[in-house]
Amino acid sequence: MARGAPRGAVRRSGALSGAPRAVHGLLACGGVIAVAMVALAFVDVRRRPVLFVIWAIVAGGGYLVALRLLGRLREGENRGLALCLVLGALWRMPLLVQPPQLSSDVYRYVWDGRLQRLGEDPYRLVPDDPAAAALHTPVTRQLNNGWVPSPYPPGAELFFRVVTAVEESARAMKVALALCDALVVLVVLRFLAASGRCLWWSLAYAWNPLIALEGAGNGHVDLLGTLAVIIAAWALGRRWRITAALAFALAVGIKFVPIVLAPLFWRRLRVRDGIAGTALFLALYLPFVHQGGIPLGSLGAYVAEWRFNGPLFAALQPLASPTTLAGLAVLAGLLVAIWARARLSVDSAAAWAWPVATAFALAPSVYPWYLLWLTPFLFTPATRPLAVWTVTILPTYVAVYLERVHGTWGLPWWLVAAEYGAVAAAAMVGLRVARVPDATCAFGVASDPLKRASGRGDR
């Protein structure tokens, strides 16, 4: 070794020498995920459930290994990142061109958008109503639960209207939501850069198999809400308060799920920002208000009737009414958000993910696409159990097969136990590493997943 060589330079050189191995490992993981995702695009779970689960586990396993490798990369070592992001985009393509196989919700989206353009109200007109028969198309006849009106908030309804103005098809809806998916990647990159984290952690979102299945594959509107939430988080961290308020209002107007994040905005917004956000939320409802009533559609029926993959709700159901338990889920999420507002910084991934995850854990139904709301924030040890959840929930798609065979919608107890047991195990392991810095950049600022609000960033 040359005399007088700076010690920092030696350490830096050593760090860089290990980077290519990590990049090569990541590319190998990406290849595994790509093969599995392409296979999943052509495997019908209704007829070959075992093969579907095998490929889903392969994709999920590759993703979790990739998360481990991401921690070995350093700031400035971004030469392979664009290739990895392109790879994630490529494995979405076969799913995008295939018809939806895991859910038929997208056909309800087309129906709701079509109704609005015909001057009808999706909160009032029931698809199975004989009077509505002439309004159907071959596409909309494939929708599910036609005995209830639309359950979607007005922000989602207006999105459906805009998309169907271009084309009344599942393909158009999936393409629109795939564009939302791409925008989430871009905003996640900006969020990571603004908070001093390595840009490689964008792969925690871009490579998640659940996102490809539910975005390009099945076109769930939750991706639009996910985009609004990550914009709100990014804008709040940059002190773009009016943008944050409007994005949050839009997110709640798409689905009510992110309402539990409201405490994170306390004293981070000005009064006029809150007024603007509230005004936008109310404006979304104006086209659907009739005779002073608030259009809730089939939301009440959903709480009362829908049950899927919610073991905690099922355990508590003998003790209280469904409405009370649903309120308890929201309250639990709000309490976690209040704690996060007091203890965590504005750019803490845990602050944005765990309140929503807590509400989901107590919800009457936990469908795989619900977890899309968590996916922009899976880049820290504190949210690693939630990343595991997005993988262990993949086998629950076999419910589609079980419904076809047995005529009932549900899951065997052991599958639910395995799903949540793995998440609990990951959480226990996570408690041991909760203070380990995450998303670290070798020559930048390390970002602690449980960083206190008194540190860098807006309180």
Domain count across the chain: 1
- What span, in angstroms and rounded, lies between the C-alpha atoms of 262 and 334? 8
**Any bridge partners for residue 365, and if so which?**
308
In a domain, 340, yes or no: yes
Give DSSP secondary structure letters for 73-90. --TT--TTHHHHHHHHHH
Q: What sign has the CA pseudo-torsion 427, 433, 437, 438?
A: negative
Q: How confident is the model at residue 72 (pLDDT cuts 50, 70, 90)?
A: confident
Q: What is the DSSP letter of 293?
A: B
Q: Is the pLDDT of residue 291 over 70?
A: no
**Which of 33-47, 366-380, 437-451 is predicted with the least confidence, judged by mean pLDDT?**
437-451
Higher pLDDT, 110 or 144: 110
- What span, in angstroms and rounded, lies between the C-alpha atoms of 123 and 288? 8
Q: What is the pLDDT of residue 71?
A: 81
Q: What is the pLDDT of residue 458?
A: 44
In a domain, 161, yes or no: no
Distance of CA 323 to the CA centre of its chain: 24
In a domain, 112, yes or no: no
- What span, in angstroms and rounded, lies between the C-alpha atoms of 301 and 326? 12
In a domain, 90, yes or no: yes
Percentage of the chain exceeding pLDDT 70: 87
Q: What is the pLDDT of residue 195?
A: 93
**Any bridge partners for residue 447, and if so which?**
438
Q: What is the mean pLDDT of the chain?
A: 89
- What span, in angstroms and rounded, lies between the C-alpha atoms of 358 and 131? 42
Higher pLDDT, 377 or 406: 377
In a domain, 453, yes or no: no
Domain extent at residue 416: 10-104+168-432
In a domain, 353, yes or no: yes
Q: What is the pLDDT of residue 75?
A: 60
- What span, in angstroms and rounded, lies between the C-alpha atoms of 291 and 314? 37
Q: What sign has the CA pseudo-torsion 309, 311, 315, 320?
A: negative
Q: Is the pLDDT of residue 370 over 60?
A: yes
Q: What is the pLDDT of residue 305?
A: 84
How far apart, in Å, are the Cα atoms of 17 and each of 73, 74, 76? Answer: 11, 11, 13
pLDDT digits (tens, 9 = 90+) for 223-269: 999 999 999 999 999 999 999 999 999 999 999 999 999 999 999 99
In a domain, 37, yes or no: yes
Q: How confident is the model at residue 201 (pLDDT cuts 50, 70, 90)?
A: very high
In a domain, 455, yes or no: no
